[in-house]
């Protein structure tokens, strides 16, 4: 597998577009294993004729964060590819790939730890933070690779994993795609290029999306419920793993940071950090999971998402008494929500102002920070936002 990949990449003119973690990993691999001529296009490089460089490139590794739509380009304009597409082309038969709007990382980590418990060799890579080219040199033909795929990593790919898992779909990343339909179509690539020997695990709710899923030809016998644990049992069934190991994996599992993460209990209040929440549906699921949330903090960057369903849900949740709203989406919700349903509704521009207000009120109960919006106008990413929230709470 590795030899075929090196042969494919060798003696070419290759451009890496975007020099973040993934771009640097790609560059390191190409430098070590090939004799290809490599160019870097990034905000820090002085490339006056980008499109001219693209025209003479045999391959262009585009980083996931770069939107072709926002750059007025289409996939067919040049020889675009990605590390995810190249990985699936040569190692897809070993791959258990997970995508969906929410729940990808947790599901991927659960499956990874399940296979670890069988003592088989398994790697974890992809959108969870480990570039594919970091693990490729050490993969053998008997290994498993559990890979989390974002829509950006799946966009325009022509290969799919052996076991594909499509968890759920909600409108997301509308600032990246030309339309919500394009976002959904990118997600469908997780299974579109499978063959009759491959497996797809999906959910009944997928059929009710605004842009219905295309005909699924290859599925497991049972469509599962929308829950990472159900997915785990389904994967175990496909791989003939004893259910006792599934139980062991679940019992020993620790949640990922920024995903309904318990922060601290202070002055009678339990604080939870769910900064990963970037859409209304994930906020709703967080409220459901904790069950007794009475203090809710939400809001962030406005990307044109409809918040009417979230407003309706929290208006009808009798537990939520105090609603703290911030940033652009918070202002929109503040202007539209029925404030008579709550003991207090507060709008502030920043998270620090919200926490100061919270401190002054001296409330008790369960406080959930679940923004239901992107973070990019005030923070680098959801991790930075979550860490900032935790630092403010720890200083209370």
106 labeled part of a ligand binding site = yes
Are 271 and 265 within 8 A, CB to CB? yes
Helix 327-336 to helix 308-316 angle (10° resolution) is 60
pLDDT reported for residue 226: 43
The percent of residues above 90 in pLDDT, for the chain, comes to: 60
102 labeled part of a ligand binding site = yes
Going by pLDDT thresholds of 50, 70 and 90, the confidence category of residue 216 is very low
pLDDT reported for residue 217: 42
Mean confidence (pLDDT) of the chain: 88
pLDDT reported for residue 329: 94
pLDDT reported for residue 180: 76
Q: In the block, which residue shows the tokens 């820090």? A: 44
Going by pLDDT thresholds of 50, 70 and 90, the confidence category of residue 360 is confident
Section 166-180 average pLDDT: 73
Query: Which range has highest mean pLDDT (64-73, 281-290, 378-387)?
Result: 378-387
Residue 123 has pLDDT above 70, yes or no: yes
Going by pLDDT thresholds of 50, 70 and 90, the confidence category of residue 213 is low
Q: Could you tell me the sign of the dihedral formed by the alpha carbons of 263, 267, 270, 273, in that order?
A: negative
Going by pLDDT thresholds of 50, 70 and 90, the confidence category of residue 174 is low
31 labeled part of a ligand binding site = no
Are 298 and 333 within 8 A, CB to CB? yes
Residue 223 has pLDDT above 80, yes or no: no
Are 294 and 269 within 8 A, CB to CB? no
Exposure pattern of 138-174 as b/e (b: 16+ CB <10 Å)?
Answer: ebeeebbbbbbbbbbbbbbbebbbbbbbbbbbbbbbe
Are 62 and 81 within 8 A, CB to CB? yes
pLDDT reported for residue 34: 96
More confident call, 223 vs 92? 92
Q: In the sheet that 163-166 helps form, which strands lie side by side, from edge to edge?
A: 122-126, 144-148, 95-99, 163-166, 199-201
Instruction: For 63-107, write each residue's pLDDT tens digit.
Output: 988 888 888 888 889 999 999 999 999 999 999 999 988 788 889
Residue 43 has pLDDT above 80, yes or no: no
330 labeled part of a ligand binding site = no
Going by pLDDT thresholds of 50, 70 and 90, the confidence category of residue 203 is low
Instruction: For 289-342, write each residue's pLDDT tens digit.
Output: 888 999 999 999 988 888 999 999 999 999 999 999 999 999 999 999 999 999
308 labeled part of a ligand binding site = no
Residues facing 346 on adjacent strands: 324
Residue 109 has pLDDT above 80, yes or no: yes
Give the span between the Cα atoms of 373 and 382, in whole angstroms: 10
Give the span between the Cα atoms of 69 and 265, in whole angstroms: 45
Lowest mean pLDDT: which of 56-60, 88-92, 128-132, 183-187? 183-187
> Of 118, 188, 178, 113, which is closest to residue 151 (Cα–Cα)?
188
Give the span between the Cα atoms of 291 and 288, in whole angstroms: 5
* HEC sequence for the chain: CHHHHHHHHCCCEEEEECCCHHHHHHHHHHHHHCCCEEEEECCCCCCCCHHHHHHCCCEEEECCCCCCHHHCCCHHHCCEECHHHHHHHHHHHHEEEEECCCCHHHHHHHHHHHHHCCCCCEEEEECCCECHHHHHHHCCCCCEEEEECCHHHHCCCCCCCCEEEECCCCCCCCCCCCCHHHHHHHHHHHHHCCCCCCEEECCHHHHHCCCCCCCCCCCCCCCCCCCHHHHHHHHHHHCCCCHHHHHHHHHHCCCCCCCCEEEEEECCEEEEECCCCCCHHHHHHHHHHHCCCCEEEECCECCCCCCHHHHHHHHHCCCCCEEEEEHHHHHHHHHHCCHHHCCEEEEECCHHHHHHHHHHHCCCEEEEECCCCECCCCCCCHHHHHHHHHHHHHCC
Instruction: For 230-268, write each residue's pLDDT tens digit.
Output: 888 889 999 999 999 998 988 888 777 888 888 999 989
pLDDT reported for residue 214: 53
Give the span between the Cα atoms of 202 and 78, in whole angstroms: 33
Section 49-60 average pLDDT: 92
Give the span between the Cα atoms of 155 and 316, in whole angstroms: 38
Are 212 and 177 within 8 A, CB to CB? no
> 49: Cβ–Cβ under 8 A, 6 or more apart, which residues?
none
105 labeled part of a ligand binding site = yes
Give the span between the Cα atoms of 227 and 7, in whole angstroms: 41
Dig out the tokens for 349 from the structure. 């521009």
Going by pLDDT thresholds of 50, 70 and 90, the confidence category of residue 135 is very high
pLDDT reported for residue 224: 32
Q: Which residue segments constitute the domains of the chain, with CATH numbers given?
A: 11-81 (3.40.50.720), 84-252 (3.40.1190.10), 261-394 (3.90.190.20)
pLDDT reported for residue 184: 83
> 138: Cβ–Cβ under 8 A, 6 or more apart, which residues?
123
pLDDT reported for residue 205: 56
What are the distances in angstroms from CA 164 to CA 108, 191, 233? 11, 6, 15
103 labeled part of a ligand binding site = yes
């Amino acid at each position: 597998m590795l030899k075929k990949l090196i042969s494919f990449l060798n003696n070419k003119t290759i451009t890496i577009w975007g020099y973040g973690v993934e771009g640097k990993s790609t560059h390191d691999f190409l430098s070590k294993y090939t004799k290809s001529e490599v160019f870097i296009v990034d905000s820090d490089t002085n490339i006056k004729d980008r499109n001219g460089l693209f025209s003479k490139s045999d391959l262009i590794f585009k980083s996931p964060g770069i939107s072709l739509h926002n750059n007025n380009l289409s996939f067919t304009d040049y020889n675009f590819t990605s590390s995810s597409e190249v990985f699936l082309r040569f190692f897809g038969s070993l791959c258990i790939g997970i995508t969906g709007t929410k729940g990808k990382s947790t599901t991927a980590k659960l499956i990874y730890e399940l296979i670890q418990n069988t003592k088989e060799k398994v790697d974890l890579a992809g959108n969870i933070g480990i570039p594919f080219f970091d693990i490729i040199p050490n993969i053998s033909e008997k290994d498993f690779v559990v890979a989390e795929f974002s829509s950006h990593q799946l966009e325009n790919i022509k290969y799919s994993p052996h076991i594909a898992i499509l968890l759920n779909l909600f409108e997301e990343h509308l600032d990246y795609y030309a339309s919500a339909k394009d976002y959904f179509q990118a997600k469908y690539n997780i299974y579109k290029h499978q063959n009759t020997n491959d497996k797809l695990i999906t959910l009944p709710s997928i059929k009710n999306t605004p842009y219905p899923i295309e005909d699924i030809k290859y599925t497991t016998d049972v469509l599962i419920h929308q829950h990472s644990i159900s997915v785990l049992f389904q994967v175990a069934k496909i791989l003939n793993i004893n259910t006792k190991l599934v139980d062991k994996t679940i019992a020993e599992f620790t949640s990922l940071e920024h995903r309904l993460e318990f922060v601290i209990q202070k002055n009678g209040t339990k604080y939870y950090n769910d900064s990963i929440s970037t859409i209304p549906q994930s906020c709703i699921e967080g409220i459901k999971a904790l069950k007794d949330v009475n203090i809710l903090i939400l809001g962030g960057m406005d990307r044109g998402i409809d918040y009417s369903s979230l407003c309706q849900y929290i208006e009808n949740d009798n537990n939520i008494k105090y609603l703290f709203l911030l940033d652009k989406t918070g202002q929109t919700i503040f202007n539209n929500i029925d404030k008579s349903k709550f003991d207090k509704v507060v709008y502030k521009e920043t998270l620090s102002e919200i926490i100061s207000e919270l401190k002054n009120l001296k409330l008790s109960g369960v406080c959930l920070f679940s923004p239901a919006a992107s973070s990019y106008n005030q923070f680098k990413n959801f991790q930075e936002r979550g860490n900032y929230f935790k630092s403010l709470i720890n200083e209370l």
